[in-house]
A and B are shown apart, each in its own frame.
Chain A
Amino acid sequence: MKTGFVRELLGRSDYAIIGEIVEPKARVLDLGCGEGELLEWLAKHKGVDARGVEISSAKVQRAIARGVSVFQSDIDQALADYPDQAFDYVILSQTLQETLHPRQVLHEMLRVGRKGIVAFPNFGHWRVRLSMLFSGRAPRTALFPYEWYESPNIHFLTVHDFEALVQVEKLVVERRYFLAGHQKVTAAPNLFAEVAVFLVRR
């Protein structure tokens, strides 16, 4: 896979990165998998054993109808049932900021999976900072398009925040990717990355 170039995958740059990271035939669990687009792609192109968890009944239905093994559950409950190290990769694709107990989720995902892939929108991006600075209101940008009372995001974190949590948790970061649109960001990611993708393990 070429570095410095992110292929478009289903219109989401973090999906493209995840598509690069996951090896063929891996066992993959996607937390908050939506309609299972990423899992379907991974199953088709990488032959992975694809499983997913999703809370929305309508999305689960569409995922199952497209042939992906998804079950309806909240993330905390779903992880608790799995045995240790049941998966090669556990994916949290722009979901961490929506969970009630992100730290617990991180713990659990690295119990049931050998490695975790965490992708999240960077709240430290300059547009977010400017939005808040000039409007004096909860930031609204392309990345955070919601009114505060409608947002599914209940925890806001920056690239630095996640790096700090990784320190506290004594996790190993195997790879980190910073993205702005479909470009990789090389300098000052906390300011310029819209989305960060971390590959972590214990």
Chain B
Amino acid sequence: MIVASSTVRFDSLSLDSGAVLSPVEVAYQTYGALNSAKSNAILVLHAFSGDAHAAGMSPETGKPGWWDNMIGPGKAFDTDRYFVICSNVLGGCRGTTGPSSINPTTGAPFAMSFPVITVGDMVRLQRMLIDWFEIPRLLAVSGGSMGGMQALEWAVSHPDRVVTAIPIATTTRHSAQQIAFNEVGRQAIMADPDWCGGNYHGKQPPARGLAVARMVGHITYMSDDSMREKFGRRLRGKETFSFGFDVDFEVESYLRYRGSQFVNRFDANSYLYITKAMDYFDLTAGNGSVAAALERAQCRFLVISFSSDWLYPSYQSQELVRALRSRNRDVAYVELQSNYGHDSFLVDVAEQTELVRGFLASTFEKLS
């Protein structure tokens, strides 16, 4: 199944910072069909480096979507039953307005003149897209990592528009450690002389800085176990050490490869803006506590965490679940056993599939 992105343009979007983006475009893909009651729509929310291409094959790259193992006929998000939508986030670089978009007042890319955005702003733009589809209520909002933050934001900011929320491997707010890793990534980009204060468009982009940022990211997405299993101390194409600083170990080669690949598909300034939005995300802000924020949420929750995820550890999901319980909200939660670290929600999906399928089916049956 080949799926290409479409784009919708809206006149303007007011941001949490007070700035207004005008106009604003959002790239999206859909899978399955919307029923006549418009009650079977699911919004899937991508993580930090994802895009609108969640499922099917991309005509552009020939690659499957980032959650292709979860979305499709008979899969967790069963496209024989449900209408699945995924859009690129605000601030992204894959079709939705972001720092690499052209600023209409100058005719040049926004670069660092792009306003600072928040997860709340991302969700506001998604809501405009859902309005555009004339979908009154989403059967589910779901995503992992930053996608989970958006799902939570949907649940509290649009309680009347969401029937269920499925936040996976996520948190109600970044810890110091999570902010720290993001800051290392940002500093790697900004320390690259090619970054030029963000004005690298038409010139050499800060590829080395962005690649280093991605290498750090990849380490945090894996676990000690999965890295040992995948690489161990194996050498790359040699029997002995080179006694130099070229690639010796498999893991070095892998990280360099992933870093260099990332540069081809991701904008360095988007990296800065989106990681900042994640760091700013805090459900307690203006509410006093997570529980007080979740007071507004009315939907059913399915929360999932993974045993080996040390970037978004289970205690963060459990904190969310406890807050939901304290407000007597309908919540199902389980920690799944997996060795794949934070990446588990993308790669180790067999059990996750059963959970999501049963949870969605029982809710959907009650609706209809």
Residues of chain A at the chain B interface (Cβ within 8 Å): 49, 51, 57, 60-61, 63-73, 78, 81-83, 86
Contacts and interface: CB of A to CB of B under 8 A. Distances in A.
Interface stretch (B192-200, B238-246, B354-362): B354-362
A109 B333 CA distance: 20
B357 A65 contact: yes
A63 B333 CA distance: 11
Interface stretch (B18-26, B83-91, B142-150, B324-332): B324-332
Interface string B252-294: 0000000000000000000000000000000000000000000
Given A57-B336, A83-B326, A69 B331 contact: yes
Q: Determine chain A's interface SS by DSSP, over half rule.
A: mixed
A26 to B, nearest CB: 14
Contact of B334 (A71, A78, A82, A83): A71
Contact of B322 (A60, A66, A81): A81
B300 A69 contact: yes
Contact of B328 (A65, A71, A86): A86
A71 B331 contact: yes
Contact of A70 (B327, B328, B332, B357): B332
A66 B334 contact: no
Given A64-B355, A67-B358, A81-B326, A57 B337 contact: yes
A27 to B, nearest CB: 8
A127 B155 CA distance: 54
A64 to B, nearest CB: 5
Nearest to A69: B332
A45 to B, nearest CB: 14
16 contacts: A60-B332, A60-B333, A61-B355, A64-B302, A64-B334, A65-B357, A66-B358, A68-B332, A69-B300, A69-B330, A70-B334, A73-B333, A78-B325, A82-B325, A82-B328, A83-B326
Given A61-B355, A67-B361, 10 more contacts: A60-B333, A60-B334, A63-B332, A64-B358, A65-B354, A65-B355, A65-B359, A66-B362, A71-B331, A82-B325
B351 interface: yes
Contacts of B302: 64
Nearest to A112: B328
A7 B309 CA distance: 46
B335 interface: yes
Interface of B: 300, 302-303, 321-322, 325-328, 330-337, 351, 354-355, 357-359, 361-363, 365
Contacts of A69: 300, 330-332
A130 B252 CA distance: 69
A13 B359 CA distance: 28
Nearest to A87: B328
A65 B328 CA distance: 21
B75 to A, nearest CB: 14
Given A64-B332, A70-B332, A82 B362 contact: no
Nearest to B360: A67
Given A65-B358, A66-B362, A81 B325 contact: yes
Contacts of B358: 64-67
A119 to B, nearest CB: 24
A104 B211 CA distance: 55
B328 A83 contact: yes
Given A64-B302, A64-B359, A72 B333 contact: yes
Contacts of B327: 83
Contacts of B357: 65
A82 B321 contact: no
Contact of A67 (B337, B351, B362): B362
Contacts of A51: 330
A66 B355 CA distance: 8
Contacts of B300: 69
A83 B323 CA distance: 11
Interface centre among A51, A67, A86 (most CB of B within 10 A): A67
B354 A61 contact: yes
Contacts of A63: 332
Nearest to A83: B328
A57 B334 CA distance: 6
Contacts of A57: 334-337
Contact of B332 (A49, A71, A81, A82): A71
Nearest to B300: A69
Contacts of A61: 334, 336, 351, 354-355
